Copies of this chain bind each other. A is one copy, B any other.
């Protein structure tokens, strides 16, 4: 299942509106086939893995991070039917597919064909990997990651607006890799006009993974300049409108501080990516009001999921604590 989870990461940010699934077929203790949802959502991971395993699928075990789909579509057959036809003996599933067209019927179809089915294996990790799909499904909007690069004292820029560079090259490279895992990226109008950021993915081999670019401006008449390094921006007039971003299951919010506050005030941030440099700035630009009534209300919202050193900086990933959907 660990291998299937790793394969699933390859599709993160590329498979909307479908989930990014990973799948491994194991025959006699050896990997016979590997699959992951392809860009645009098809073929599905199971179809790809079965195609690679071919005859070795018979009697094999299939590990997949999501319940195989039970619905045929014009774009391909149902994965549950493919697994039955291939003669696999056992299917191990991380988590169920909430899609009403599947939601248990994929598992039922496998069991009905005499296949042994095991569920809830590393389910939490699978849900984290497919969080974009699941957030779109349950909340009707993309998963929102807010990136903040800060000094120890919480400054995202000096008082004069200068923020090049708070963090070092390792942190910036990490942020570029994060960008590549999102369908869309968003900045505030102030950041766009002050920095004209390219916001592309400047990592060898990932140049094609640059997300589409949005700018948040409450001014409906605002028209970003076209062309050049800062060209091709689309305008969003409110964080609430992110629900309408077609084909976007992962949105990366990069700044500045007032855009961050707008998303936090609307409780639309699911994942907080904090890059922290070991510097003190003093009197810098910090996060403005996010609508908290008191200190008690600030607690219990954020859970540290991951932390690591990046050169002399540090990245911390926090997840918004929410009631299960």
Q: List chain A positions with a Cβ less than 8 A from chain B.
A: 148, 150-155, 158-159, 162-166, 261, 264-265, 272, 274, 277-284, 286-292, 294-295, 298-299, 301-304, 312, 318
- Cα distance, A36 to B312, chains bound together (Å): 36
Top 10 nearest A-B pairs (CB, nearest first) are A154-B154, A282-B290, A283-B289, A279-B298, A153-B287, A153-B154, A278-B302, A286-B286, A282-B287, A282-B289
Q: CB < 8 Å: which of B152, B155, B292 contacts A281? A: B292
19 residue pairs A–B, Cβ–Cβ below 8 Å: A150-B153, A151-B154, A153-B154, A158-B292, A158-B294, A278-B303, A279-B295, A279-B298, A279-B302, A280-B301, A281-B287, A281-B290, A281-B292, A282-B287, A282-B288, A282-B291, A283-B287, A283-B288, A304-B312
Q: What is the bound-complex CA distance between A213 and B280, given in angstroms?
A: 26
Distance in Å from the Cβ of A5 to the closest Cβ of chain B?
A: 25
Most chain B beta-carbon contacts within 10 A, residue among A158, A163, A272, A280: A280
A290 and B283 within 8 A (CB): yes
A302's contact among B152, B155, B301, by CB below 8 Å, is which?
B152
Could you say which residues of chain B place their CB within 8 Å of the CB of A261?
A: 282-283
Chain B residue contacts of A318, Cβ below 8 A: 152, 278
| Closest chain B residue to A288, Cβ basis | B283
Residue from B155, B301, B303 within 8 A of A286 (CB atoms): B155
